[in-house]
């Protein structure tokens, strides 16, 4: 199946991240390739420790990779001065964390929380307020403007967090398990909201999630394993809308990903089934690549 491609928004090439803890090195990303088009919504899934947050933190400009290339919106993140990185974080990317408390200032009202990121721009006060009101309307919270976070439910706090993340109209929204602390119904509403941001503002959205049904809710899901992208699930029918409710009628296509060096990760279940360890024969048969256990 072919997909009509749009301009690339995120481009990661052979990305490595190595954390040094005392004498130990932890390889969090190992040669990760990943592309996201402008205006696309992509979910990232993967086991704990597979590198999801590490990738998001790099894309948000909070961390730098140890090797490889990463560009967002045509800007090479590795060539920015600290001042440029600061500007990038303010204007090019919004971030929503899992912990609702991490997204909001506890002593500020909802409208002040949403207005705060705009203080760093030269937008006049009146316009800041108008834009904050518009964003609160977009997330369905215009009736909670004067409330402080403690008076809001977890779902409402995440709605505010999305409004804050969108305050400076960033073209990219990153969310690290934004629904992890919410019940299913509220989580569905929050996912719907990412869809609204995508549709109404054209925002590219990247969401890390553990939701087992996510493939039925967004157009593309990428699985990260051991710091590399391994498989990808797409809908058979190209689809742009995001829905918090699983549309299980949809037919899905699952692919293994082939990186720039020709590497693939064969799903562990397949290797176990065929008892392939360490070495296998690769052949082309009838236009297909086959792997056969050695011996
Ligand atoms: N600041 C750090 N210092 C040292 N090691 C780190 C640091 N941050 C992450 N790691 C390690 O890097 C690897 C990837 O971590 P990461 O937080 O990206 O995983 P994750 O996929 O987000 O997991 P989870 O689902 O638990 O949030 C893990 O082995 C983790 O222990
Ligand atoms: Mg994480």
User: If you write DSSP's letter for every residue of 151-210 in order, what string do you get?
Assistant: GS-HHHHHHHHHHHHTTT--SEEEEESTTTTS-HHHHHHHHHHHHHHHHHH--EEEEE--
Name the maximum alpha-carbon separation found in the chain. 74
| Nearest Cα to Cα of residue 95 among 59, 50, 123 | 59
Residues within a 6 A CB radius of ligand 1: 19, 21, 26, 28, 46, 48-54
pLDDT computed for residue 4 by the predictor: 57
Is 35:8 a contact under the CB 8 Å cutoff?
Answer: yes
pLDDT averaged per 10 residues in sequence order, the chain, 295 residues: 72 96 94 95 96 97 96 94 94 91 91 94 92 95 94 93 96 95 91 93 95 89 95 79 82 87 84 88 89 84
The residue whose CA is least distant from atom 30 of ligand 1 is 49
Three-class DSSP category at 236: coil
Give the ligand at the shortest distance from the Cα of 210. 1
pLDDT computed for residue 186 by the predictor: 92
pLDDT computed for residue 198 by the predictor: 94
Centroid of ligand 2 to alpha carbon of 176 (angstroms): 7
pLDDT computed for residue 261 by the predictor: 83
All residues with CB under 5 Å from ion ligand 2? 52-53
Centroid of ligand 2 to alpha carbon of 19 (angstroms): 15
- Tokens describing residue 75: 């800007």
| Nearest Cα to Cα of residue 88 among 97, 98, 96, 78 | 78
Give, in degrees to the nearest 5, the angle at Cα 191 between 200 and 202. 20
CB-neighbour burial class of residue 146 (10 A; exposed 0-12, middle 13-18, buried 19+) = exposed
The residue whose CA is least distant from atom 17 of ligand 1 is 53
pLDDT computed for residue 1 by the predictor: 47
Out of 22, 54, 179, mutate this one to test ligand 1's pocket (max ligand atoms within 8 Å of CB): namely 54
Centroid of ligand 2 to alpha carbon of 267 (angstroms): 22
Give the ligand at the shortest distance from the Cα of 44. 1
Indicate which atom in ligand 1 lies nearest the CA of residue 54: 18
What are the chain's domains?
A: 8-92+170-264 (3.40.50.300), 267-295 (no CATH)
Centroid of ligand 2 to alpha carbon of 282 (angstroms): 35
pLDDT computed for residue 216 by the predictor: 87
């Amino acid at each position: 199946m072919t997909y009509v491609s749009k301009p690339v928004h995120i481009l990661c090439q052979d990305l490595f991240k190595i954390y040094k803890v005392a004498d130990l090195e932890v390889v969090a990303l190992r040669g990760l390739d990943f592309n996201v088009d402008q205006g696309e919504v992509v979910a990232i899934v993967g086991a704990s420790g597979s590198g999801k947050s590490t990738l998001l933190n790099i894309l948000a400009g909070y961390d730098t990779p140890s090797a490889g290339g990463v560009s967002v919106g045509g800007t090479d993140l590795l060539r920015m001065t600290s001042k440029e990185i600061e500007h990038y974080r303010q204007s090019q990317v919004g971030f929503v964390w899992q912990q609702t408390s991490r997204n909001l200032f506890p002593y500020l009202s909802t409208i002040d929380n949403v207005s705060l990121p705009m203080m760093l721009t030269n937008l006049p006060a009146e316009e800041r307020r108008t834009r904050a009101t518009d964003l609160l309307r977009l997330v369905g919270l215009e009736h909670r403007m004067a409330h402080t976070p403690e008076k809001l439910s977890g779902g409402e706090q995440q709605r505010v967090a999305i409004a804050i993340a969108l305050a400076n109209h960033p073209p990219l929204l990153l969310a690290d398990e934004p629904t992890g602390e919410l019940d299913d119904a509220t989580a569905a509403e929050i996912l719907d909201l990412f869809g609204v941001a995508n549709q109404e503002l054209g925002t590219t959205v990247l969401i890390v999630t553990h939701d087992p049904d996510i493939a039925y809710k967004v157009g593309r899901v990428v699985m990260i394993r051991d710091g590399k992208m391994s498989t990808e699930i797409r809908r058979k029918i190209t689809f742009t809308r995001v829905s918090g409710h699983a549309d299980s009628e949809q037919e899905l296509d699952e692919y293994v990903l082939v990186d720039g060096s020709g590497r693939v990760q064969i799903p562990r279940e397949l290797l176990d089934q065929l008892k392939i360890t360490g070495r296998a024969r690769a052949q082309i048969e009838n236009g297909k690549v086959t792997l056969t256990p050695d011996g």
